[in-house]
Amino acid sequence: MNRQSTCAVRWRTARMWGDRVATAILRRATAHIAHTLGALLVTIGAVMMPLHARASDADGAGYPDKPIRLVVAYGVGGVADNIGRVLAAGLTQALGQSVYVDNRGGGGGTIGATIVAKAPPDGYTLLLASPPMIAVAPLLLPHLYYNPKRDFTPIGTFVTTPNILVSNTSLPIHTLADLVAYAQGPGKDNVSFASGGTGSTGDISGQIMNQTAHIQMIAIPYRSSALGFPDVISGRVSLMFDSIPSTLGFIRAGQVRPIVVMSDQRSPLLPNVPTAVEEGYPAATMQFWMGIVGPKGMPPAIVDKLNAAMRAAMRSPLMTNSLQHLGAQPFLTSPQEFSALQDRDIARYKPLIRQIGLQAKN
């Protein structure tokens, strides 16, 4: 082979290998670009999805898209549990999404309240709230894991469940005037009242009556109101302040005597029992409301949607009849009205608890 032919072969060989190297480099570069672009798209998607979710949460358009947990901070079968289940059924109908009850009893309602306070503020964990856990417990328990005004988003109330005062049937007490006369006269220093525990609505009702009527009934707290009724029926304790649903069976059986409803409206379940207002003691009323709160920071659109769902549910005759059967009366408020109501309750109970010496020690 001459020199010219040798050079031509070498040139063709070099060109062939150069093409192969170039092709390999191009393939690697293309793969690297594709990988980098794919990773970039994944990253952008990861960033944009939360932004989209937050935007969706903010306007409430996609809410709710999964079941909602309604925490009831008391045991199964009680008044709060029964009312909570009626509400859950009504909200399920109004929202088109399942709302289920999760009973987390204990600590006078504070255990369930703590669970909700620490939950994500996405509208899927709610609390059936009432005065004991919102307005009373923070004044009694200095080491609570939540602050009722700082750690919750108020959504609205939907019912009140007024307490009723009943007496042992052997006592000469048929009206509030009879009670005052007896407590200031022959029964002085011997009139006692049972309640479902220190700081319970029954206990607070009795203390409010003491202040309003200028009498000195002795508070006898029990672990639950159910434990107090046998002593009232037998006469070991004079009176009982408790919710109408818890008391109704004993009244109908003639085991205790109804004296007065601690409200400004008569109960449909006991239409012949007067109110504290009718008996001349308007300051003795106690508004035992029930409502819904969520964790702090809930989007306003979701709060408004839940409040509207409660109002829609309460327009159902079936739901209102079920609630009235449980001794509850409709009481709807906006989130702003609910917040103001909590403020008024805290302001009302704080000096009372301090004055009667219920405030807990650190």
pLDDT in tens, the chain (362 residues): 554 454 444 445 444 444 554 444 445 544 544 444 344 333 334 444 444 444 445 566 799 999 999 999 988 888 889 999 999 999 999 999 999 999 998 887 899 999 999 999 999 999 999 998 898 888 888 788 999 999 999 999 999 988 999 999 999 999 999 999 999 999 999 999 998 887 788 888 998 999 899 999 999 988 888 889 999 999 999 999 998 888 999 999 999 999 999 988 899 889 999 999 999 999 888 878 999 999 999 999 999 999 999 999 999 999 999 998 888 889 999 999 999 999 999 998 888 777 766 554 44
Number of Cβ atoms within 10 Å of the Cβ of 166: 27
Tokens of 31: 């793969």
- Rounded-to-5 percentages of helix, strand, coil across the chain: 50, 15, 35
How many Å apart are CA 341 and CA 92, to the nearest integer?
26
> Would you say the pTM of this structure is higher than 0.85?
no
Nearest to 248 by CA among 327, 192, 194: 327
- The 10 Å CB-count burial string (b at 16+, else e) for 101-123 is bbbbbeebbbbbbbbbbebebbb
Number of Cβ atoms within 10 Å of the Cβ of 89: 18
Query: CB–CB of 195/240 below 8 Å?
Result: yes
